Amino acid sequence: MDQSVINDWVSYINDATVVTGDFFRSLPGSSIIIRYIKSSYQDDPIRSIWEALLFIFAVHYFLASKKSYLKKNYVPLSEREVDELVNEWEPEPLVQPLQKSEQWDLSSIPVIHGAAGVKVNAVLNTTGTTKPKQVLNCASNDFLSFANDESIKAKAVEVIRQYGVGSCGPPGFYGQQKAHISFESTISKFMGAQDAIVYAQAFNTGTSVIPSFLKRGDIVIADAGINLSVQKGIQMSRVTVRWYQHNDMKDLEKVLEQTNKEFRKRPLTRRFIITEALFENSGDSPDLQKIVELKYKYKYRLMLDETWSLGILGKTGRGLLEEYPLVSRDDIEITFGSMAHALGGGGGYCIGSRSVVKHQRIGSLAVVFSASMPAYLAVCAEAAIEELSDTSSGRMAKLHKNAVRLNEILATANLRSKNKLTIISRPDSPYILVKISEKYVDENYGAMEKKLQEITDECFKEGIMITRSKRLQQYEVIPIEHTLKICASIDHSENDLNFIGSILFKAVNKVLP
Amino acid sequence: MAAVEAGYRVRPTKPVGKLGHLRDEEFGALTSPDYLYKHQHPPGVELPAPVEDEPPYSILIWTYLSYLVLILIGHIRDFFSRHFKSESMKDLGEHDGYAPLYSDFDSFYIRRLQHRIRDCFSRPTVGVPGRYITLINRSSNDYNNTFTEDGTTTSCLNLSSYNYLGFAQSVGQCTDAAEDYINEYGISSGASRATTGTLDAHVLCEDVVADFVGKESSMLFSMGYGTNASIFSSLVDKNCLVISDELNHASIRFGSRLSGAVIKIFKHNDMHDLEKLLREQISQGQPRTHRPWKKILLVVEGLYSMEGTMTNLPRLVELRKKYKFYLFVDEAHSVGAMGPRGRGVCDYFSIDTSNVDILMGTLTKSFGATGGFVAADKAIIDRIRLTNMGSNYAEAMSPPVLGQIFSSLKTITGEINPGEGDERLQRLAFNSRYLRLGLKRLGFIVYGIDDSPIIPLLLYQPSKMPAFSRLMLEKKIAVVVVGYPATPLTSSRVRFCLSSSLTKADLDELLAATNEIGDKICLKYGSGIASDSIDGKPVRWSLSDVIANGVEDCKKPLK
Ligand SMILES: Cc1ncc(COP(=O)(O)O)c(C=O)c1O
């Protein structure tokens, strides 16, 4: 190469170094950096080289990371190629049409003609007839018979004559009505909390409450038997979740200890234990006292789902807390539940301290982005709670009596038919879940459900309506138990309860010989 | 009730039309057949992009500055509150080993900005949210921390409720039907739809809904938000792609995220951006593996409730043919409100519903009911019945709501009280155009298409939200103001939701009030590009000219 060109280059580089050096020195704070580099060079020149390399690598990485992340995987294609690919692409059908072998599942949904009281006229296509048949309703969540109570119906009529049916707007935009406010104050007093907020649907209460408080990086320790609504709430909040064995307090403590150890060095984030008062999936209850002890010991907060326990557990229907005199509502930061179950209406609620509730009014998606519940549902639920508060009404006592009685009848009958079934729910609960005992269990998902449907169909033919629980495995985190749901109601007479026992086991003996 | 007592509104001497049997404060009677209009988009024509007017730059700069000041003051207040350990900051700090329940960073906007104007939101009401809405008066002595009610109420003209066809009523055939359903079916069917909660009334109502929207089959859910929250999980999984308009509703975003599918966003209503995205996604396939997508679901809304814009369905139908994606249209705001027969966007564009795979909608907005529906081919709905969380786990729709839906749909189709449905549809169409034209001519900037029953009027500066809302309240008009984060930072707005229940006189009253307040707090930013300008200068008609010419002119293209 020509000498003069090289000379030019050298002088050019020299100039450039001087200019950048001057420029650098003119920056505020540069003297500190220069001093640092000089002194470190004096101490240890090798280290300086390492540092320089590291610096260059960091800059390179920073500049490159965004671009390559997006584009590394990108295959450049010409327009023609894209057109070809577009033409070639064949999507799968939007949903797979039902196979013949799945049709029975759709037919297994009974249609009730008229009101869903304790005696219903219903059609169940899997039984082969299409004429309505009068059967005893043993699968309704309306345990206390509020949904068809004459005085509550009269109230509902009164309310639609004052408010109309829909609320026509979310609570933020004129959808918060006097009826809602009044219900919120009644339920918070009834449950012993400072404040309450209503949701328009029970299932979407948990899915919305949980992500409104818990975010990525927070920690949830949840019972592995928790219901789907809570599972989905946890999923949407993107928290770090650890499961403990269903109702196993030893395991809970172990998980708490491990988790606290694991996250000891991390910044403090919100930590919650989530459990359910009466489990939808298994019909049993946790040891609340112990959980509260553990929560304080390990510094966790507690979230309790009372969907199935309000109006079912406790002498006056106040839920699980009524069974634990030493636990107060203040020990549970967030409680949510449903008015669509034992209160015989619709919608959900969340109770807690004033700030817990206030936060949800602007921070919970299902509150902010959905029309508020119709006013009549709020008034009916309030009327139901007032009835529970009135100890002379006797509804709860009747329900507990029927629940215990039905459990006894089923247990005795089960014993007589060699324990073909296993009752997994609490022995005093009107929400009864039974599964087929071990030796009849079929590994095949469809086959198990079909067996349960056969039992249901047999019962229906003989005059009682029960149902499969119909949980959907594809959405649940934990393998589901195949169960039948049988519900005691205050409207069931002693004869009815005996009838349920005898018909059920007649059916069981027929299907599981 | 209160409105009549106040002498505020008198019954017209000569009601015209089919709805004389309703209460005047819930549904104003029609006073002239001129106040009717039947809207329809010319078939086969793409939807032109609405002309979007922009304010002078100075306004945007002032808006940013206003936010800057608000944020600065907020931080100063935070500093002092923290310093003096004020009660309001108690929930925000760590205490004995517990992290705060919610972070001060996330809640900053709510504590320091929204809190100042809390009186403009969640105003409690009582009674029917019809033509008038009864607000419970409240006041605050502690800077909006708490409100006290003195037991009095104010009846306000209602531009805020989603009551497009005016079915929010306490009298009339729909309320009668709801009452009958209560007496016959009670309050609840006591279980989820898939177990034992299905009534014959559900089945019947689903057939009526399917017929109404023009699909083979439909399914009802007890909550509109919940419908979207659960439907996507039944349609797509992690090997599928959901393409979603950037302004889609929170429930759609929630549901599509829950499904686990990959989600890509395209610019609001931008068909070029959409096509680019489609080409890229189909040719590139799934990230990393490059396997082809199992399916692509495109999700749009019929009518966007914050913008008043409509989806460009004619173009989407073409794209659907070419790119073989499945089309999901959320008709929450458009079913009932759009189309000459009220059947939604397909009706409006004269497009066969077979071009849309899933029609979803809510019954909260046009029908005075509550809940949501999904309509599609029978094969699809049959599968969804078995695989949907909403049908297997959530409570079934409550019977009186079914009564309301059944009777309101039958009213629109003309099977009940023939003529009433058409009047409702045509009054809504007229009201929407009349008000929009009037606002434009007065010089305001409004967003959306001509026929939209939602009219957002741009306020820009954050301080004008409470100003507008409070001044309107003084004039006994209830409006909804929305700002950041529901809208972009600089485009705070007031959103007028029209209804068939409003009379022309009501709209004139509203125009007069808006005109006055617009002058007072300086809101007339229109440059004239969105309306006829005679001399190239911004359009500023006088109120009397607007009213004198509006009825005729609003039936032509709005200029
Ligand atoms: C587009 C859209 N989808 C769904 C919903 C939710 O409907 P609902 O209020 O009936 O829960 C809304 C309501 O605001 C909406 O705007």
In this structure, is residue A469 part of a structural domain? yes
Q: Which pLDDT belongs to residue B43? A: 87
**3-state secondary structure (DSSP) of residue B246:** coil
Provide the chain B residues 83-102 that lie in CB contact (below 8 A) with chain A: 91, 94, 96-102
A86 assigned to some structural domain: no
Say yes or no: CB of residue B362 within 6 Å of ligand 1: yes
Ligand 1: centre distance to CA B507 (Å): 26
Residue A60 shares a structural domain with residue A171: no
Instruction: Say if the Cβ atoms of B122 and A176 lie within 8 Å.
Output: yes
Write down the residue that tokens 């995205």 correspond to. Answer: B277
Tell me the chain A residues in contact with residue B368 when contact means C-beta distances shorter than 8 Å: 164-166, 168
Task: Determine whether the interchain pair B364/A168 forms a contact, defined as Cβ–Cβ distance below 8 Å.
Answer: yes
Give pLDDT < 50 ranges for chain A.
1, 67-69
The gap from C-alpha A388 to its chain's centroid, in whole angstroms, comes to 27
Partner B contacted by A269 (CB < 8 A): yes
Which positions ≥6 away from B268 have C-beta within 8 Å? B245, B246, B247, B304, B307, B309
CATH of the domain at A232: 3.40.640.10
Pull the structure tokens for residue B377: 């081919």
Instruction: Nearest chain B residue to A145 by CA: give it.
Output: B190
Nearest ligand 1 atom to the CA of A369 is 14
Say whether both A176 and A276 belong to one domain: yes
> Does residue A325 sit within a domain?
yes
- CB B307 less than 6 A from any atom of ligand 1: no
Q: Is B251 in the pocket of ligand 1 (CB under 6 A)?
A: yes
Q: What Cα–Cα distance (Å) separates residue B392 from each residue in A225, B221, B515?
A: 18, 11, 52
Domain boundaries, chain B: 50-158+419-558, 173-413
Same domain for A185 and A305, yes or no, is yes
Task: Please choose, from the candidates B332, B32, B359, B383, the residue with its C-alpha nearest in 3D space to the C-alpha of residue B164.
Answer: B332
Q: Mutate which of A173, A298, A354, A467 to disrupt the B interface (most B C-beta within 10 Å)?
A: A173
Segments in chain B below pLDDT 70? 1-20, 85-91, 532-537
Q: SS3 of A121, please?
A: strand
Atom of ligand 1 nearest to the CA of B363: 10
Q: Specify the pairing of strand B125-126 against strand A111-113.
A: unpaired
Residue of chain B with shortest Cα separation from A166? B369
Going by DSSP bridges, is the β-strand pair A195-199/B454-460 parallel, antiparallel, or unpaired?
unpaired
- Cα A208 to averaged position of ligand 1 atoms, centre (Å): 15
- Number of domains within chain A: 3
CA angle, residues B181, B182, B186, in degrees to nearest 5? 115
Cα–Cα distance measured from residue B424 to residue A264, given in angstroms and rounded to the nearest whole number: 64
Distance CA B251, CA A371 (A): 12
For atom 8 of ligand 1, the residue with the nearest CA is B224
Please name the residue of chain A whose CA is at the shortest distance from the CA of residue B180.
Answer: A157
For ligand 1, pick from B360, B364, B373, B401 the residue to mutate: most ligand atoms within 8 Å of CB: B364
State whether A388 and A400 are in the same domain.
Answer: no
Based on the domain organization, do A200 and A62 belong to the same domain?
no
Helices (runs of H) and strands (runs of E) counted in chain A:
17, 15
Q: Is B43 exposed, middle or buried (0-12, 13-18, 19+ CB in 10 A)?
A: exposed
- Considering only CA atoms, which residue is closest to atom 15 of ligand 1? B332
Q: What is the pTM of this model?
A: 0.89
A37 CA to centre of ligand 1 in angstroms: 61
B190 to A116: CB separation less than 8 angstroms, yes or no:
yes
Tell me the chain B residues in contact with residue A122 when contact means C-beta distances shorter than 8 Å. 196
Ligand 1 centroid to residue B213 C-alpha, Å: 17
Question: What would the DSSP string read from start to end of A238-303?
Answer: T-EEEEE-TT-HHHHHHHHHHHHHHTTTSPP--EEEEEESS-TTT-----HHHHHHHHHHHT-EEE
Q: Please name which of B450, B519, B449, B525 lies closest in space to residue B493, comparing C-alpha atoms.
A: B525
Q: Are B398 and A377 within 8 A, CB to CB? A: yes
Buried b (16+ CB within 10 A) or exposed e, A401-432: ebbebbbebbeebbeeeeebbebbbbeebbbb
The CATH number given to whatever domain includes residue A466 is: 3.90.1150.10
Instruction: Indicate if A493 and A357 belong to the same structural domain.
Output: no
Q: Which of residues 394-423 of A touch B (CB under 8 A)?
A: none
* Domain around A30: 3-68
CA angle A6, A9, A10 (to 5 degrees): 90
Spatial neighbors of B500 by CB under 8 A, at least 6 apart, are B27, B164, B165, B166, B423, B424, B425, B427, B428, B431
User: Closest Cα of chain A to B41: distance in Å?
Assistant: 27
The answer on A468 and A404 residing in a single domain is yes
Q: Is residue A28 part of a domain?
A: yes
The minimum CA-CA distance between B427 and chain A, rounded to whole Å, is 19
Of A85, A369, A371, the CB nearest to B249: A369
Q: Which residues of A touch B199 (CB under 8 A)?
A: 111-114, 116
Selected from 3.40.640.10, 3.40.50.261, 3.40.50.2300, 3.30.450.40, the CATH number assigned to the domain covering B173-413 reads: 3.40.640.10
Examine the fold and report which residue of A377, A392, A407 is the final residue of a domain before the chain moves on: A392
Preferred mutation among B196, B319, B484 to probe A, highest tally of A CBs within 10 A: B196
User: Are A176 and A303 contained in the same domain?
Assistant: yes
pLDDT of residue B89: 65
**How many A×B Cβ pairs under 8 Å?**
361
Report d(CA B190, CA B117) in Å as an integer: 41
Interface touch A85/B283, C-beta < 8 Å: yes
Same domain membership, residue A204 and residue A184: yes
Which of A113, A162, A338 is closest, CB to CB, to B200?
A113
Instruction: List the B480-482 sheet strands across, edge first.
Output: B454-460, B492-497, B480-482
| CB of B163 shorter than 6 A to ligand 1 | no
Q: Are residues A181 and A128 in the same domain?
A: no
Comparing CB atoms, the residue among B161, B184, B250 nearest residue A168 is B161
Q: Superfamily assignment of B50-158+419-558 in CATH?
A: Aspartate Aminotransferase, domain 1 (3.90.1150.10)
How far is the centre of ligand 1, averaged over its atoms, from the C-alpha of B226 (Å)? 9
Contact B254 A269 (CB under 8 A): no
Ligand 1 close to Cβ of residue B372 (< 6 A): yes
Query: Which one of B23, B392, B393 makes the best mutation probe of the A interface by having the most chain A beta carbons within 10 Å?
Result: B393
B136 part of contact set with chain A, CB < 8 Å: yes
**Count of C-beta atoms within a 10 Å radius of residue A488:** 27
Q: How many residues does chain A have?
A: 513
